């Protein structure tokens, strides 16, 4: 299970200030810490980038790459900014991501072919609404896969995000369990071992004690791993959750077990 650090995002005041001033040092400091903490990939999420999008995304990519050799995942709804960031990447990046929303099908999805990279597809309706159960999510997965075929993109580039919703939602607990069913069934549904990803912090979005939020993430992550999750987007500095992720990997991966691999 690959771990993607979601710490470089516009909701982080340090990143917001650094991006506003085009100051590389705070961004580089955080990127180095993410790599040292054990991230496999670093997600860069500067938001929609409605002003100077290409310049800002290029700045972030080049700034992180100056001090860090990890692959990058780029997250913005601005197609031109996304393309600029992809162009600046030295290693093959991940596009995060697209959905059945017409604008994203038209402007974001083709970038996977243009830049020869993987892309995350969200199981959302074209209007951005979240499906209510496993069956509806799986129907959307078929539509997402068909969109791939129509664009003649190799299916192996697809990474599916079934969209984890907060437990605070009225049906949040039920949806968390439905998500596990989706992850288990996806490979058989599409006919190949499609990869899956989940944004773990979505589970505990909203008000609540921080300690209990982190505990629930630590509990739910092994359930995701058991269902077959391939990638997790998470706060890399939540040390207990990170240890759980690495312990799960030592059990579910193929190969000879070694105690040295257990954190």
What CATH fold (topology level) applies to the domain 97-253? TIM Barrel (3.20.20)
Q: What pLDDT shows up at residue 249?
A: 83
pLDDT band at 250; cut points 50, 70, 90: confident
Note the pTM of the prediction, 2 decimals: 0.94
Q: Looking at the predicted structure, is the pLDDT value of residue 261 above 80? A: no
Give residue 255's pLDDT: 75
| Residue bearing the bigger pLDDT, 259 or 53 | 53
Each residue's pLDDT tens digit, 151-209: 888 889 999 999 999 999 999 999 999 999 999 999 999 999 999 999 999 999 999 99
pLDDT tops 90 at residue 251: no
Residue 42's beta-bridge partner residues? 5, 72
For 48-63, b/e burial (b = at least 16 CB within 10 A) is ebeeebbebbbbbbeb
**How do 231-234 and 195-199 pair as beta strands?**
parallel
Q: Report whether 57 contacts 85 (CB < 8 A).
A: yes
**Among the listed residues 49, 98, 44, the one whose alpha carbon sits nearest the alpha carbon of residue 71:** 44
Lowest mean pLDDT among 36-40, 145-149, 170-174: 145-149
Q: What confidence score (pLDDT) does residue 72 get?
A: 98
Task: With beta carbons less than 8 A apart as the criterion, state whether 96 and 43 touch.
Answer: yes
Residue range(s) in the chain whose domain bears CATH number 3.20.20.20: 97-253
Q: How far is 217 from 226, CA to CA, in rounded Å?
A: 14
For the chain, give the secondary structure using H, E and C: CEEEEEEEECCCHHHHHHHHHCCHHHHHHHHHHHHHHCCCEEEEECCCCCCCHHHHHHHHHHHHHHHCCCEEEECCCCHHHHHHHHHHCCCCCEEEEECCCHHHHHHCCCHHHHCCCEEEEECCCCCCCCCCCHHHHHHHHHHHHHHHHHCCCCHHHEEEECCCCCCCCCCHHHHHHHHHHHHHHHHHHHCCCCEEEEEHHHHHCCCCCHHHHHHHHHHHHHHHHHHCCCEEEECCCCHHHHHHHHHHHHHHCCCCCCHHHCC
């Amino acid at each position: 299970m690959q771990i993607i650090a979601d710490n470089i995002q516009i909701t982080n005041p340090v990143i917001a200030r650094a991006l506003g001033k085009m100051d590389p040092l705070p961004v580089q400091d955080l990127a180095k810490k993410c790599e040292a903490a054990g991230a496999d990939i670093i997600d860069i999420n500067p938001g929609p980038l409605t002003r100077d999008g290409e310049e800002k995304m290029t700045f972030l990519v080049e700034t992180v790459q100056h001090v860090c050799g990890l692959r990058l995942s780029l997250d913005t709804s601005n197609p031109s900014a996304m393309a600029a960031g992809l162009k600046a990447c030295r290693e093959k990046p991940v596009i995060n991501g697209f959905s059945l929303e017409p604008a994203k099908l038209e402007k974001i999805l083709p970038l996977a072919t243009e830049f020869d990279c993987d892309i995350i597809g969200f199981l959302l309706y074209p209007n951005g609404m979240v499906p209510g159960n496993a069956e509806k999510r799986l129907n959307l997965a078929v539509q997402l896969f068909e969109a791939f075929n129509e664009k003649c993109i190799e299916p192996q580039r697809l990474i599916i995000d079934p969209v984890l919703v907060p437990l605070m939602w009225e049906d949040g607990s039920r949806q968390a369990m439905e998500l596990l069913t989706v992850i288990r069934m996806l490979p058989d549904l599409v006919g190949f071992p499609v990869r899956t990803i989940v944004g773990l912090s979505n589970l505990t979005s909203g008000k609540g004690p921080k300690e209990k939020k982190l505990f629930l993430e630590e509990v739910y992550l092994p359930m995701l791993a058991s269902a077959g999750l391939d990638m997790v987007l998470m706060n890399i500095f939540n040390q207990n959750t990170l240890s759980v992720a690495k312990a799960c990997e030592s059990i579910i991966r193929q190969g000879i077990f070694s105690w040295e691999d257990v954190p």
